[in-house]
Amino acid sequence: MNDIIFKIGGAFLTAILAFTVGMFYAGLRRKITARVQNRVGPPIYQNFLDLLKLQSKRTNVAHGFMGHMAPIWIIIAAMTVLMFIPILQNNLWFENLTLKGDLIFLLYMMVFGSLGMALGAGQTGNPNSAIGVSRGLSQMVGFEIPFVMALVALMLQFKTTSIADLMHFQFTSGHWIILENPFAFLAALLSSLGMFRYSPFDIVGAPAELASGPMSEFGGKYLGTMMTGGAVFAFIKLVLFVDLFLGGAGNNSVEGIMGTGLGLLELLLKTFLFYMIPVFVGLVSPRYRTEQAIQFFWKWPSVFGILAILWALYKNGTLL
């Protein structure tokens, strides 16, 4: 009985945590952008207000069944992936289903939302949406390649396909994977630039060209739900990178609620630091064309990916 309470309560807690942190990070990003541009900028809770306003819109427009379903796919993908990602090490509240799925599953589940949303955007009949989807899917083929190379390297080096095991390794050995396999980190970092879709890889939304692309026909509750999903997804990506390369969080020996609090603080610190990389790259970059964006990922990031695999084989002793 206690177990079930932990499970359900933990799931809700995880969802709320992911949502809050994701939304605050998006607000922080706007604030930082404003400060860099010598502006005051909106308050950091601005995105909550935006969400509340969107959800309180009195009328809504849907372009048919798939259009109605579009935000639902994103929520499904976000929530499912969230349940399978370890948030804190050795913490009952955030255990969820972390041991029940592995990295290959996560990789495929993460595209679920984009594809569902693409279908919804397709049904609206807006040509901008279709162009945005075409760009987004093409770009996905770009950044997934170095990312998968990095993941394969990790899997080979540590003989596991489970993210929980990778985290556990870093916990027990005390070595972060960023130092164990730096090339994998580089490849994943570069592909994370594309994953976050900030400049120079913001070719999907591209407000000035495509009128926000796939989202162009969604407003009110639909846009609001998409924002929620997006915020959770931002958190998921950050936690994934922290878990994989930066040692995860919650590796302290403090018992009870204090330990959880310290773990969460550690998580926030690490995710924030990682988040700043795509944000600051985005601040100083113009936008790529689609083919340039794809080719970017197939050049240096892929080279790093191959090096990461070779490095993993070398560390394993199976190279040559």
Q: Footprint of another protein on residues 108-147 (CB under 8 A)? A: 108-109, 111-112, 115, 118-119, 122-127, 130-131, 133-135, 137-138, 140-142, 144-145
Site for another protein in 48-67 (CB under 8 A): 49-50, 52-66
Q: Which lies closer to another protein via its Cβ, residue 133 or residue 177?
A: 133
Is residue 155 a contact partner of residue 161, using CB atoms and an 8 Å limit?
Answer: yes
Site for another protein in 70-99 (CB under 8 A): 71-72, 75-76, 79-80, 83, 97, 99
Under the binding rule (CB under 8 A), the answer on residue 283 touching another protein is no
Under the binding rule (CB under 8 A), the answer on residue 40 touching another protein is yes
Q: Which lies closer to another protein via its Cβ, residue 167 or residue 309?
A: 309
Q: Scan for tokens 């009870």, then name that residue.
A: 256
End-to-end Cα separation, the chain, in angstroms: 53
Is residue 94 a contact partner of residue 88, using CB atoms and an 8 Å limit?
Answer: yes
Ordered DSSP codes for 187-210:
HHHHHHHHHHT-TTS-TTT-HHHH
Site for another protein in 190-219 (CB under 8 A): 207, 210-212, 215-219
Q: Least CB distance from residue 9 to another protein, whole Å?
A: 16
Q: Which lies closer to another protein via its Cβ, residue 203 or residue 281?
A: 203
Q: Least CB distance from residue 222 to another protein, whole Å?
A: 8
Q: Least CB distance from residue 84 to another protein, whole Å?
A: 8
Q: Which lies closer to another protein via its Cβ, residue 124 or residue 260?
A: 124
Q: Which lies closer to another protein via its Cβ, residue 60 or residue 90?
A: 60
Q: Which lies closer to another protein via its Cβ, residue 194 or residue 263?
A: 194
Q: Which lies closer to another protein via its Cβ, residue 57 or residue 287?
A: 57
Q: Least CB distance from residue 168 to another protein, whole Å?
A: 12
**CA–CA dist 241, 237 (Å, integer):** 6
Q: Which lies closer to another protein via its Cβ, residue 100 or residue 175?
A: 100
For residue 23, give the nearest of 2, 44, 53, 52 by alpha carbon: 44
Under the binding rule (CB under 8 A), the answer on residue 37 touching another protein is yes
Under the binding rule (CB under 8 A), the answer on residue 32 touching another protein is no
Q: Least CB distance from residue 238 to another protein, whole Å?
A: 21
Is residue 189 a contact partner of residue 271, using CB atoms and an 8 Å limit?
Answer: no
Q: How many CB atoms lie within 10 A of CB 255?
A: 8
Which residue of 258, 261, 291, 314 would you call a contact of another protein, by CB under 8 A? 291
By the 10 Å C-beta count (0-12 exposed, 13-18 middle, 19+ buried), 176 is classed as: middle
How many residues belong to the site for another protein (CB under 8 A)?
102
Q: Which lies closer to another protein via its Cβ, residue 213 or residue 250?
A: 213
**CA–CA dist 138, 82 (Å, integer):** 25
For residue 113, give the nearest of 71, 85, 82, 51 by alpha carbon: 71
Which residue of 85, 177, 189, 223 would you call a contact of another protein, by CB under 8 A? 223
Is residue 287 a contact partner of residue 202, using CB atoms and an 8 Å limit?
Answer: yes
For residue 281, give the nearest of 208, 206, 196 by alpha carbon: 196
Q: In the structure encoding, which two tokens stand for residue 283, read together?
A: 């601040």
Under the binding rule (CB under 8 A), the answer on residue 261 touching another protein is no
User: What sign does the CA torsion over 28, 76, 63, 118 have?
Assistant: positive
Q: In the structure encoding, which two tokens stand for residue 215, read together?
A: 């989202």
Site for another protein in 295-314 (CB under 8 A): 295, 298, 305-306, 309, 313
**CA–CA dist 209, 53 (Å, integer):** 26
